Amino acid sequence: MRRTHFALVAACCLAPSLAFGAAIEKSSDVPAKVLPPASIRFESPDVKEVPSLQRHVLPLMGRLGCSGRACHGSFQGQGGFRLSLFGYDFKTDFEAIVKSETPRVDVKKPAESMILAKTSSDVEDEHGGGKRMEKNSWQYRLISKWIEAGAPAVDEAKDPTFVKMEVRPTEIEYVKPGETTQLHVVAHWSDGTIEDVTPLCRFQTNDDAVAKVDVNGVITCVGKGDTHVVAFYDNGVVPVAVMLPVSDQVGPKYPNIPAKTKVDELVLTKLKKIGVVASDVCTDEEFLRRASLDVTGVLPTADEVRAFLADKSPNKRAAKVDELLSRPAYAAWWTTKLSDILGNSENQLRNSAPAKAGTHWYEWLHRRVADNVHYDDIVEGIVLAVSRTSPDQDYLEYCQEMTSYVRDDKPADFTARETMPYYWMRRNMRTSNEKALSFSYAFLGVRLQCAECHKHPFDQWSQYDFQHFTAFFDRITSGTGDREIAKELIAKAGVETDPKKVGGAKIRADLDRVARSGGVVPFSELYVRAPKAAPKGKKDKSKVAAAGRVLTPKVLGGDEIVDQNYDDPREPLMDWLRQKDNPYFARAFVNRVWAHYFNVGIVEPADDMNLANAPSNRELLDYLAAQFVEHDYDIKWLMREIVNSDTYQRSWLTNSTNEFDLRNFSHAVPRRLPAEVVYDAVVSATAGQSELARRAQDPVTNCAIGMSLSYTNRNNINNYALTVFGKPKRETPCDCERSNEPSLLQTVYLRNDQEMFRMIERPNGWLDAVTADLPGTQKKSSDPAAELRNKERELARMKERLKEETAKAKKNKGKVTANEAQRLLAMKDRAKEKMAELEAEIAALQSAGDQGKQAKPQSTAELINEAYLRTFTRYPTKDELATAEEYMKTAENPATGIRDLVWALLNTKEFVVNH
């Protein structure tokens, strides 16, 4: 949660409410059918009405600050008296107030009740929370009348339930600072009652630099900009948009800016209200660099830049977007993005899922992203996953199938499976609570951590909502399916499992060795337990909350599900996700994709879609989510809809009205590249043609944007660099794990790390080729034909060695120690990676022909142009070219000069940010 939220809510809760403003009492906005506010009804001592604990007493105590987190609503309570946070738990609060060992009410002598005496006392220090109300106030009278009536509890079977709340006005546009507006809040109940509950509400502002709100719901305009003021009552949370235009360019004075797409229309509609003028559309160079890095995670090549700039087609940008979406790098990068959200972590899969689980997970996702399988179908394959591929498959057949995936010799294709169970088999997904938290984060964009212990401070979710939601996952478990067969397989494999002789790590390593050699071993599996049969005529009480409520599966904000009606309780959950009116599923994915392209989400943070955290442009989010559903959750449709808009293609250069705009998408926001993209950009900017071709053909294997599952060195990709630039470990359900913030270590790496110098000067790199004949170069680049022959010979030697080692292992089967077996497996892995790398290099050299030769620039200016195109995706300006040429003249020699220039360009802000 954001700190500002906590502070603002605390401020609203704790401020004394000694009198309710006259503005609400005299309001003519409230319809006659609405019950007047409690501040009027309980003003007279002669009032006969009996207040309701749920509708009046507990909301008032929340308003007075009694049930706030700094008082009795804290986890420990205060002075031996604890209430539920903001009064969501009527039964528990009733017990604490009325039935505890030290009751806070005295129905025989109401005036002596502690709940009245302490909160209205003038005696200093008698009440730690201070004086909260006057003795002759309507607040005092309301609580007193409830006590006089016997302090009745909430009757959940008979009392009306809360339906919804409305706040008027729904949007406020101010003209100048200092203007005020009184909010009016009405609550709707299931018996048809509509009551003005404004004096019982809590209020907060999301930005007090734009607007402030007092305890009575009076908003005061403070400064230019836009924000939301939020009203809280019972289970209702309603935000109200508040804005003061930043300029006079509103309405008819707003410039005529064309709206090319519906996205542009909705964004411009909001900008017109707040007087923010959108920036112009960016240049072709900026568009190409921005779109390439965002869509594929890869820098465009110098040749690609030249071709795009030379293309005079009016539709070349849309055509480029289509081309980028068809590239292997798109599938590689967006599979990595999805893996971040889903938590594909080698560390979390260790000991709880089969060997190679992380790799299989990535490959399963990658196949579907590459084939543009629609988002809901991808999610279904994860949500409804089980390990066995059919109900008829027994445990032995399952183990045989799993062995076929992990064996080294001709492994079966795991990606052909309909479902992918490893999401549920991570070590941080063992309990129902952990499953619920991860599910809500990944597929709903909702943070439920607060509701695990208490009422969510900024949303409608109570602890009971959370507990009902976790019930969907109580029957989802993993383990060994048949222990007798598992014992037989272990005995047949000859693996020692006596804990007195060997440790668990060696047992797992030995089983892994057997499986990779093709032997069948036992595997852990994900399955759904059968529901427990309830006694005839009685409810299933297998899961009961602390307050005694039976907890059945219940979707967030929806109805309870009869668990016994489904073999898999996740089936109705998946059906709920697909409902067109689902308030989270499509919106969460749309918002995350938008945040990727714009630096901030329409809801920000993108994984915190709580009611108090309102969208900056609700109409825009509604449109994209609805159309995403209408297009059957087509991910590439969503990408095109966003990237083809002028809103995405706006320049990062600002004007006087939008220079401080960070949330309304009036201009591009320069943002540091993600860790994998930064690393790959350095590699690509300094790579030779054959390496660029290899990386383009297989980015999954050869690029950091591809299958990087953990912090192990893979294919010469430096995980130290990825760590420094903020690559997430995928350990917790939070987008905040990935950091794009700059740091001193990043600067040190780019300027001084030896790996940077090695990449700039590496053999067969770009500089090695173009400086081969320049003075100051110690060696010349190899001949392409000779390079091809050398790689073919190296590949042949590698295959022969692998063949020999495999034959040796088979001959000595049963005599090989565990360490030798692990060494052989590791060597085979490295050999296979190297062979794949060599085969790709050979294919690139053979198919590209002259691509193996670097077209060498003929002049210093051409060298400088090429360096700029490779790093900045643009030609240098006249001043930049002149400066670079001057430096080249003063350098020790031309080779040193161009190396220094490349190093300098890689260390600029322009290189490491996307703009």
Query: What residues does each domain of the chain span?
Result: 3-33+159-244, 53-148, 347-444+447-579, 785-851
- Residue 83: DSSP 8-state: -
- In order of 192, 666, 673, 735, the CA distances from 607 in angstroms are 36, 23, 20, 6
**Over the range 519-548, which residues count as b (16 or more CB within 10 Å of their CB) and which as e?**
bbbbbbbbbbeebeeeeeeeebeebeeeee
CB atoms within 10 A of CB 261: 16
Predicted local confidence at residue 307, as pLDDT: 96
Planar angle of CA 553, 558, 561, nearest 5 degrees: 30
pLDDT tens profile 220-272: 999 999 999 999 998 889 999 999 999 999 989 999 999 999 999 999 999 99
What is the C-alpha to C-alpha distance for residues 109 and 105, in angstroms, rounded to an integer?
A: 8
Q: Are strands 184-189 and 162-168 parallel, antiparallel or unpaired?
A: antiparallel
Answer positive or negative: Cα dihedral of 892, 896, 902, 906.
Answer: negative
Radius of gyration of the chain (CA): 33
Q: Which residues contact residue 64 at a Cβ distance below 8 angstroms, ignoring those fewer than 6 apart? A: 16, 17, 119, 132, 133, 139
The answer to whether residues 241 and 210 touch, using CB atoms and an 8 Å cutoff, is: no
Burial zone of 22 (CB within 10 Å; 0-12 exposed, 13-18 middle, 19+ buried): exposed
Structure-token match 């009184």, residue found: 182
Q: CA–CA separation, 297 vs 348, rounded Å?
A: 26
Distance of CA 260 to the CA centre of its chain: 29
Class of domain 3-33+159-244: mainly beta
What three-state secondary structure class fits 219?
strand
Ranges of the chain with pLDDT below 50 = 1-28, 30, 539-542, 544-551, 710-715, 780-782, 848, 850-854
By C-alpha distance, which of 660, 654, 665, 650 is closest to 615?
665
DSSP label of 69:
T
Q: Are strands 476-480 and 524-528 parallel, antiparallel or unpaired?
A: antiparallel
pTM of the model: 0.85
Give the CA distances from residue 334 to residues 376, 495, 715, 719, in Å, rounded to whole numbers and listed in that order: 16, 40, 20, 19
Measured CA distances, 359 to 330, 527, 730, 839, 855 (Å)? 18, 21, 15, 21, 38
